[in-house]
């Protein structure tokens, strides 16, 4: 289908973006890569009268790997994550996840900021950023504020970002220990039936800390604090795995759709989480 008519803007700086948002209010939307918004406009699921393209705004396409923290600009693409050697060494889970998103054509244009800000529970980056305990920087007429990833997602396509704010960057502590991003999907390019992001720190043969987040199993990504806690102090044996899966299943709330009934999704979620924990533990 063809989207309804709209006015297109390509401002050169953030002041221009914010000015357009204030001028047009609810009738305006910002676009990063466009792989979430444009299909919805074509299907007439989203009606945007004023489309503001962020591609010419400077300072949003950088990746900064510091001593303790990593900062990713909102316009960094999935392909950028894959190709950035320093980032891959510092936070390899990002590359592992990005390689499982859609296909190369999408990854060349799809941005990290758009993947996060859209609030789609099927997107991969939101749960991953919760796992990494990331913080999102948003800029609006009242200034700049930081929103923790674990508090950002409120419901499907609803986030803590106000309509007149723009997500500009993502920051998180440099991760340590073992990692894994496991994803089950019906075919290349599809959303996950279930996906799990896991970071584990091992000390003396036992789990010192664990961070676990699940994707596309509720109307928001799910950071399962209880699942991570079930692994702490254990040797990540079968008993600990059973406890982590049980805790995770208590946190998610899948619904039946064309990816399967609830019972199937719960089963897949358990299998995927076990695989992710086992692989992260082997790398820790």
Q: DSSP readout, the chain?
A: --PPP-EEE--SSHHHHHHHHHHHGGGEEEESS-TTHHHHHHTTSS--SEEEE-TT-TTSS-EEE-SSEEEEETT-BHHHHHH-HHHHHH-HHHHHHHTTSS-HHHHHH-BHHHHHHT--TT-HHHHHHHHTT-EEEEEETTEEEEEEHHHHEEETTEESS-TT-EEEEEEEEPP-SEEEEEEEESSTTPPEEEEEEEEEEEETTEEEEEEEEEESSSSS-EE-HHHHHHHTTS---HHHHHHHHHHHHHH-----BTTB-HHHHHHHHHHHHHHHHHHHHHH-
Task: Identify whether 82 is part of a domain.
Answer: yes
166 and 183 in a single domain? The answer is no
Give the per-residue pLDDT at 42: 87
Domain-terminating residue out of 125, 143, 173: 173
Domain-terminating residue out of 173, 194, 228: 173
Read off the pLDDT band of 254 (50, 70, 90): very high
Distance, in Å, from the CA atom of 202 to the CA atom of 218, rounded to the nearest integer, reads: 29
Task: Identify whether 2 is part of a domain.
Answer: no
Give the per-residue pLDDT at 261: 97
How many structural domains compose the chain? 3
Half-sphere exposure of residue 44, counting CA atoms within 13 Å on the CB side?
A: 4
| Average confidence (pLDDT) over 137-154 | 97
130 and 76 in a single domain? The answer is yes
CATH code: domain of residue 12:
3.30.43.10
Structure tokens at 134: 């990331």
Task: Identify whether 254 is part of a domain.
Answer: yes
36 and 85 in a single domain? The answer is no
Task: Identify whether 1 is part of a domain.
Answer: no
Give the per-residue pLDDT at 46: 84
Please say if the pLDDT value at position 38 is more than 80.
yes
Give the per-residue pLDDT at 3: 87
pLDDT digit string (tens) for 73-105?
999 999 999 999 999 999 999 999 999 998 888
Read off the pLDDT band of 209 (50, 70, 90): very high
Task: Identify whether 23 is part of a domain.
Answer: yes
93 and 46 in a single domain? The answer is no
Task: Identify whether 142 is part of a domain.
Answer: yes
**What is the domain extent for residue 182?**
178-283
Give the per-residue pLDDT at 188: 83
CATH code: domain of residue 210:
3.30.390.50
167 and 186 in a single domain? The answer is no
Closest CA to 112 of 61, 74, 158: 74
Domain-terminating residue out of 106, 138, 173: 173
Percent of the chain with pLDDT over 90: 89
156 and 193 in a single domain? The answer is no
Q: For all residues of the chain together, what is the average pLDDT?
A: 96
Task: Identify whether 58 is part of a domain.
Answer: no
Distance, in Å, from the CA atom of 52 to the CA atom of 69, rounded to the nearest integer, reads: 30
Do residues 96 and 178 touch, judged by C-beta distance below 8 A?
no
162 and 203 in a single domain? The answer is no
């Amino acid at each position: 289908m063809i989207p309804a008519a709209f006015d297109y803007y390509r401002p050169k700086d953030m002041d221009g973006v914010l000015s357009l948002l204030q001028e047009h209010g609810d009738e305006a939307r910002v676009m990063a890569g466009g792989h979430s918004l444009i299909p919805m406009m074509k299907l007439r699921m989203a009606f945007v009268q004023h489309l503001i393209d962020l591609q010419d705004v400077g300072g949003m396409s950088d990746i900064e790997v510091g001593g303790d923290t990593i900062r990713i600009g909102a316009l960094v693409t999935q392909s950028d994550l894959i190709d950035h050697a320093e980032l891959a060494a510092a936070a390899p889970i990002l590359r592992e996840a990005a390689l499982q998103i859609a296909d190369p054509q999408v990854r060349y244009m799809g941005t990290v900021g758009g993947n996060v800000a859209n609030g789609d529970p099927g997107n991969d980056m939101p749960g991953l950023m919760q796992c990494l305990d990331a913080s999102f920087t948003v800029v609006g007429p009242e200034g700049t504020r930081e929103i923790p990833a674990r508090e950002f997602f409120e419901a499907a396509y609803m986030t803590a970002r106000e309509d007149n704010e723009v997500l500009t960057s993502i920051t998180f502590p440099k991760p340590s220990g073992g990692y894994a991003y496991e994803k089950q999907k019906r075919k290349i390019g599809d959303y996950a039936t279930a996906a799990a992001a896991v970071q584990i720190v091992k000390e003396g043969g036992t789990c010192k800390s664990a961070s676990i987040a699940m994707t596309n199993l509720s109307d928001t990504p799910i950071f399962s604090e209880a699942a991570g806690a079930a692994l702490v102090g254990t040797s990540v044996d079968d008993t600990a795995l059973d406890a982590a899966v049980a805790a995770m299943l208590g946190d998610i709330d899948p619904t039946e759709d064309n990816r399967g009934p609830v019972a199937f999704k719960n089963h897949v979620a358990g299998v995927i989480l076990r695989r992710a924990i086992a692989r992260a533990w082997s790398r820790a």
